Amino acid sequence: MKLDVNQYFQGVDEQKEYDFSLDLSYIDIDGNFPFKSPVKINAIINSRIRIVTLKLKIDAEVNLICDRCLGEYVQNHSFTYDATLVKDANAAGFDEETNDEYLHVVDDEIDIGEIATDIVLLGLPTKMICSEDCKGLCFICGHNLNESDCKCEHD
């Protein structure tokens, strides 16, 4: 999903909007493939006085497995990303390693799919919980305590 952005650096003030669908169904997170439907990406590239900016809005429906009860649940996530595109990060004085506000353009292209994939994966919660009041599993018999109490004696 590479996008040629060379035209935006030519000094013409311009704004263009793109819509993409991204298939992430191949991504495995702890044995789960959480992306059953395509991720939706809206990209806006704006060129004004040779300053080129990128704005992304990403919407993903994610099928997760709860870390407490092992039940499946669906969450919708929305992510945004804003960056200034630069052709020569060194000449411009930007440090790519420490500054996420700038995106280095290589060979006049940016890979929207790669950027969006990174944003989605880094934006997912580290602890997957179906609800704040999830009771989890009985540590003795393994019964899902959200469904009903078990007969085990707990201290």
Helices then strands (H, E): number in the chain?
2, 7
Q: pLDDT digit string (tens) for 9-46?
A: 887 788 999 999 999 999 998 888 999 999 999 999 99
Q: Which residues on neighbouring strands pair with residue 32, listed in sequence order?
A: 29
d(CA 115, CA 147): 40
Distance, CA of 34 to CA of 73 (rounded, Å): 10
Share of the chain above pLDDT 90, in %: 58
- What confidence tens digit (pLDDT) does each residue in 37-48 have? 999 999 999 998
Could you say which DSSP state residue 43 is in? E
Residue 123 has pLDDT above 80, yes or no: yes
pLDDT at 91 over 60: no
**Predicted model pTM:** 0.80
3-class SS of residue 9: helix
Q: What is the mean pLDDT of the chain?
A: 88
CB 27 within 8 A of CB 33: yes
Q: Name the DSSP class of 144.
A: B
pLDDT at res. 57: 97
Structure tokens, 56: 């992304």
Pair of tokens at residue 77: 């996530």
CB–CB of 82/54 below 8 Å? yes
How far, in Å, CA of 119 to CA of 125, rounded?
Answer: 12
